[in-house]
Amino acid sequence: MELIDIPLRKLDKMISQRYRDGTGIKYRVTKSPFRTNQYGVHLELVDADRKVYQKN
């Protein structure tokens, strides 16, 4: 598990992170419109060819 600190100005923007083997993740953190202390995460796992092979 890896903890990631995200500045508030980067909320709702897709962020990419690549690893040495060519795989990577893309994620977007969104704030709940209903609760001030609740956030959601959209996560995509990508392979070395940058094709998405899993979305959560």
Tens-digit pLDDT profile for the chain (56 aa)?
667 777 878 888 999 989 999 899 999 989 888 888 888 888 999 988 888 887 87
Residue 48 has a pLDDT of 85
Instruction: Determine the pLDDT at residue 2.
Output: 67
User: Residue 1: its pLDDT value, please?
Assistant: 63
d(C-alpha 4, C-alpha 19), whole Å:
15
pLDDT confidence of residue 8: 79
Asked if residue 34 lies in contact with residue 40, where contact means CB atoms within 8 angstroms, the answer is no
Which phi-psi region, left, alpha or beta, contains residue 22 (left: φ > 0; alpha: ψ -120 to 50)? Answer: left
Q: How many CA atoms lie within 13 A of 10 on its CB side?
A: 11
Tell me the whole-structure pTM to 2 decimals.
0.69
